[in-house]
Amino acid sequence: MRDGREPTGAPRDAAFFRHWLTAVAEAVEEEADRLTELDSAIGDADHGTNMRRGLAAAVSAVEEERPPTPGAVLVLAGRTLVSTVGGASGPLYGTLLRRTGKALDDAPEVDLGELAGALRTGVDAVARLGGATAGDKTMLDALLPALDALGDGLDAAARAAEKGAGDTVPMRARKGRASYLGERSIGHQDPGATSSALLFTALARTARAADGEGGTP
């Protein structure tokens, strides 16, 4: 909103979710080099490149097909990520979006509480797929704090996700490619947690833009 207040949890439609996806893609585009740099220290040095390519494809898919509901937008985006992103990122992010979208079902609009519940379903699915928990130095270390903070609003969730990503620096990786490094993974920020935080910063930004215009962009 223009007065700087917390964006509201007003019901959001499919157009809002398309704009959110576009905002995530733009944020990843801006941060792609940093994401790859982070990944070069503890991974395969391709996280930024892979996420940039996958999200660009997801945006193109939803703009071309124009799914009619928020859930359908996320399901299509997730399916596209799985088919275009290599390594672990595709299945993990694809699962997050697909399971979130399926939990939203066919509702034409969803409010913040409904989105929070659906995101919880998606994050739980990611945890099962990766076999990870909080503190394992993965994307969950940004996603879980964000979910816990959503009750306080979108800005709070974005701040919690960013803090969670930063908090991975002193952790020792226990899952994924970084876990092979053992103690050497300590001192590096997890790239997956960093890109996950962008989901929530983009969500808050998209909601603020929508509310500032008096409706969905």
Where are the chain's structural domains? 14-210
Interior angle at CA 76, CA 73 and CA 82, nearest 5: 140
Backbone CA torsion sign across 85, 166, 122, 16: negative
Tell whether pTM > 0.85. yes
The secondary structure of 159-180 as a DSSP string is HHHHHHHHTTTTPPP-SSGGGG
CATH homologous superfamily of 14-210: DhaL domain (1.25.40.340)
* Angstrom distance (rounded) from CA 11 to CA 53: 30
Residues 6+ apart with CB under 8 A from 60: none
CA-CA distances (angstroms) from residue 139 to 6, 78, 174, 182?
A: 25, 16, 12, 18
- Reduced DSSP (H G I as helix, E B as strand, rest coil) percent helix, strand, coil of the chain, to 5: 70, 0, 30
- Give pLDDT tens digits for 168-217: 999 999 988 898 888 999 999 999 999 999 999 999 999 999 998 544 44
Nearest of 71, 58, 77, 20 to residue 205 by alpha carbon: 20
pLDDT tens string, the chain, 217 residues long: the values are: 334 566 767 899 999 999 999 999 999 999 999 999 999 999 889 999 999 999 999 999 999 999 999 999 999 999 999 999 877 899 999 999 999 999 999 999 999 999 999 999 999 999 999 999 999 999 999 999 999 999 999 999 999 999 999 999 999 999 888 988 889 999 999 999 999 999 999 999 999 999 985 444 4
